[in-house]
Amino acid sequence: MATNKLRRQTPQRAVIMEELCASKAHPTAAELFAQVRRRLPRISLGTVYRNLEVLHEDGQIRKLELAGSETRFDGTTTPHYHVRCRACGCVRDLPTPLHDKLVTMPMETGGFRIDGHRLEFHGLCPSCLGETEGVSGTAHSQH
């Protein structure tokens, strides 16, 4: 169950971690790859994926698997929720406190033992809000 693997400290891993922590945009692996490449021009996309996986295993970063899009990564490991813009797809942090009651809340679980949840919010980001003024659309939230 433990992560018993011996980790080596490589420049690739260090730069990936630095660039991820320097970003607030929750980049995808490809975006991070482009960013890291500016400092390590010979790095490969596979290395980025492998290191993100390792860092996630070791609990140093968070993996955001949001509905219907590529996986994004977050250098912040403290728990918080995210909002996603319906229009441009950007992702931002929400300072909303976690709803741990969601897990402990008594409910009919069909025999499941529930021990976690994933919650993401959808909406329009400030800049897309401005551009969509007056456009009527059916906001359909998916649960």
Partner DNA sequence: GTGTTTGCAAACGTTTTGCACAGGT
Partner DNA sequence: ACCTGTGCAAAACGTTTGCAAACAC
Q: Which residues contribute to the site for a second copy (CB under 8 A)?
A: 1, 62-63, 65-68, 71, 79-83, 85, 92-96, 98-99, 102-103, 105, 107-126, 129, 136-143
Contacts of 83 (CB under 8 A, 6+ apart): 91, 92, 94, 120, 121, 122, 123, 125
CB of 33 to DNA, least distance (A): 9
Q: Pick from a second copy, DNA, none: which does 6 bind, CB < 5 to 8 A by kind? A: DNA
Q: Give residue for tokens 């906001």.
A: 139
Half-sphere exposure of 30 (CA within 13 A, CB side): 3
Give, for 94, the enclosing helix (H) or strand (E). Answer: strand 91-94
Query: Cβ distance 40 to 12 under 8 Å?
Result: yes
CB of 68 to a second copy, least distance (A): 4
Q: Which of 24, 44, 100, 131 binds DNA (CB under 7 A)?
A: 44
Contact footprint for DNA (CB under 7 A) = 5-13, 28-30, 40, 42-47, 49-51, 53-54, 70-71
